[in-house]
Structure formats: structure tokens, C-alpha cells
């Protein structure tokens, strides 16, 4: 859910800035000698051998040799994690609850944090790929793994019941793309762009537990939260969508970093034939839902008691990236 936007925004910026600063400020000449020895030893193994050794969860730096290991960064991150976690918690409190409200499922009247702590376990960076300087930018891909021990409790209110729900066993596996917009003035970075790469697909695992009650008090709540998590990750964080954050108090125009509309897709929904009847008595009342981004859904009128509905409705949808976005059409019953 929007929680993950805040987690990535709060902690990844700190991680990425540490990595970028180290990249720009030191040549690491002594470490290159030791790394060359390691690479020579690894060179005796081919990629298939490494995959067999590591299993299915082999790191990106093995799968793609241009990723570099960053043991120094993980060591520093472990030391600084209490401070990074506190700062990230503040960011989440301020920025995520509006997203929870924006993406709140129908049927839930209120969705807020009751408890929020990122725990004591720091994320692990399996590898970093820094691309060449491009038009005043540094583009960095981070192989991010986090199996933390956060204490996250959501206060969920609905018409039928109110219940606190805890997120447990949170695990995040994803490639984070960070783009640094460079500047001539200190701190030399005027803005940062953060996004999750679509390939490999971000993996966010967790379990839900009702605190002092049962999830059955709110039927379907687990599916609602799962759908909301997927919608927010896809709609706000997954590339080409991104979060743009100005830094350092340097006046900067971030419009070039934002995702911009590329055109309008006009869709005509004509009809559907031979729909499956989902009713015990009578026939289904179908309607169609269309969207490119989950936040901007449109729907046709409902056709009562008809398995061959005719709509003949026209919709205009904004497209922002023709290479990665697609039209989703769902036929549902009222």
C-alpha cells in the first residue's frame, strides 16, 4: 500500500545518497585490487554454476555482471539504520496517510496508522549498477532486499466493524532505480527520482493478522488490502511512474523529471456476448471497468438482467508511456 511508497522514499533516498557520495568522492583504488582477486576466482565459474550454488534467489550482481557488490555500504547502513529508520518513519507519517486515503477501498471508511516502527533489521543491498553520466544525471539501479522486523498496525474502520490489522513477516525484493539530478552548487544534487523497475517484477510479501480479533470480522479485508498494495506499487512506484524529490534547498525545475502524458487513448465499448451467469436467480447485471492506471478507472453503465449487454460508450484515457502501459478492461457484475 502507500506505506511502501513512504518506506522507499524515506530509507532508499538515504541509502542512494550514501552510495552516490561514495561513488563520486573516492576512487577506491585499494579495494579494486582485492576485488580483482575475487573476480578472478569467480571467473573460473560460469553463470550456470553460480546459479546452481545460489539457487533461485541468486543476487542481481551474479545474474548481471555489471552490478557491483557494496559490502562497505551494507556495513555503514547497519550502523546508521536506527537513524535512517527514525527519519523514514517521519516521512511515512507525513506522506503515506494521504495515499492510504486516496487508494482506500470502497467499504472502508477510514484507514490510518495505529503503530509504526521499521524495526532493528537494516535492508541489504545485494548490488549496485551505476550507469554513465547522462545530461547532468547519474542513474543508479539498486538490488534491494529487506526481510525486516517492523511493527506496523493499521486502524481499519468500516461500516460493519473496526479492527486493528498488523502487517507481519514483511519481505521486499526489488530493483530500485534512483536518478540523481546534478547541480553546480553543494550538495551537488538538486533532485532525486526514485522508482521500482518493472523487470524483475517487485516482490512484496507479508501476512495480515487482526489484533485482538479475527479478520472474519471484516469479510474480504485481506483481498482488499492486497489489491490496494498492488495498485499503489503499480500506479505510483513502478517504472515509468516515479517519485521526484527536490533536495538541498536548490531552486530547481523538476518538470523534466516528472512523468508526462504522451497522448489520449479513445476507447469505444460496444458490447459483450455470452457472459457467464453468476446469479442463482435471474441473470447478472454486467458493467465494464477500463483503466490504464488503477487510480483513474472509468466504467460503463450497468445493464440489468442481461448476458449480452450493449453499451456503445466512448471513453478517453490518458497514456503516459506507450512502451510499458497497457489498457485493462474488466467485465463485472453489479
For the entire predicted model, the pTM comes to 0.69
- Give the C-alpha separation, 16 to 194, whole Å: 9
Burial class (CB in 10 A: 0-12, 13-18, 19+), 194: buried
Each residue of 282-329: pLDDT tens digit? 788 999 999 998 888 999 999 999 999 999 999 999 998 888 888 999
Fold of 263-333: Immunoglobulin-like (2.60.40)
User: Domain limits of the chain?
Assistant: 2-246, 263-333
3-class SS string, 55-116: HHHCCHHHHCCCCECCHHHHHHHHHHHHHHHHHHHHHHHHHHHHHHHHCCCCCEEEEEEEEE
Task: Kindly report, residue by residue over 117-166, the tens digit of the pLDDT.
Answer: 999 999 999 889 887 666 778 888 999 999 888 999 988 888 777 889 99
Share of the chain above pLDDT 90, in %: 19
Does 63 score more than 80 pLDDT? Answer: no
Q: Which residues 6+ apart lie within 8 Å of 223 measured at CB? A: none
User: What pLDDT shows up at residue 330?
Assistant: 92
DSSP codes of every residue in 221-276: HHHHHHHHHHHHIIIIIBTT--EEEE-TT-----TTTS----EEEEEEEEE--SPP
What percent of the chain is predicted at pLDDT more than 70?
Answer: 78
- b/e 114-127 (16+ beta carbons within 10 angstroms → b): eebebeeebbbbbb
Q: What is the pLDDT of residues 28-50, one digit of tens each?
A: 555 655 565 565 555 555 556 65
Amino acid at each position: 500500500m502507500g506505506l511502501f511508497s513512504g518506506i522507499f522514499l524515506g530509507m532508499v533516498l538515504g541509502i542512494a545518497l550514501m552510495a552516490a557520495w561514495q561513488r563520486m568522492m573516492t576512487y577506491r583504488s585499494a579495494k579494486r585490487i582485492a576485488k580483482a582477486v575475487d573476480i578472478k576466482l569467480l571467473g573460473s565459474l560460469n553463470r550456470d554454476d553460480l546459479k546452481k550454488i545460489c539457487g533461485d534467489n541468486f543476487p542481481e550482481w551474479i545474474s548481471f555482471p555489471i552490478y557491483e557488490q557494496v559490502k562497505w555500504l551494507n556495513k555503514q547502513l547497519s550502523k546508521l539504520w536506527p537513524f535512517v529508520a527514525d527519519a523514514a518513519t517521519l516521512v511515512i507519517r507525513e506522506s503515506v496517510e494521504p495515499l492510504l486515503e486516496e487508494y482506500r477501498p470502497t467499504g472502508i471508511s477510514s484507514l490510518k496508522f495505529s503503530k509504526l516502527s521499521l524495526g532493528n533489521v537494516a535492508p541489504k543491498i545485494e548490488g549496485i549498477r551505476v550507469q554513465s553520466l547522462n545530461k547532468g544525471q547519474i542513474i543508479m539501479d539498486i538490488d534491494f532486499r529487506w526481510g525486516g522486523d517492523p511493527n506496523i498496525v493499521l486502524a481499519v474502520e468500516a461500516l460493519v466493524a473496526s479492527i486493528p490489522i498488523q502487517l507481519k513477516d514483511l519481505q521486499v525484493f526489488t530493483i530500485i532505480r534512483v536518478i540523481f539530478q546534478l547541480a553546480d552548487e553543494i550538495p551537488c544534487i538538486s533532485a532525486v527520482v526514485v522508482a521500482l523497475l518493472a523487470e524483475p517484477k517487485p516482490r512484496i510479501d507479508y501476512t495480515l493478522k487482526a489484533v485482538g480479533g479475527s479478520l472474519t470480522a471484516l469479510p474480504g479485508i485481506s483481498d482488499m488490502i492486497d489489491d490496494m498494495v498492488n495498485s499503489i506499487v503499480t500506479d505510483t512506484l513502478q517504472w515509468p511512474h516515479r517519485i521526484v524529490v527536490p533536495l538541498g534547498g536548490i531552486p530547481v525545475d523538476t518538470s523534466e523529471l516528472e512523468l508526462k502524458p504522451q497522448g489520449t487513448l479513445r476507447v469505444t465499448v460496444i458490447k459483450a456476448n455470452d457472459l457467464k451467469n453468476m446469479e442463482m436467480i435471474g441473470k447478472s447485471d454486467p458493467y465494464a471497468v477500463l483503466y490504464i492506471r488503477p487510480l483513474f478507472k472509468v466504467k460503463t453503465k450497468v445493464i440489468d438482467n442481461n448476458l449480452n449487454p450493449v453499451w456503445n460508450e466512448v471513453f478517453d484515457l490518458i497514456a503516459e508511456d506507450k512502451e510499458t502501459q497497457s489498457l485493462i478492461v474488466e467485465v463485472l457484475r453489479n
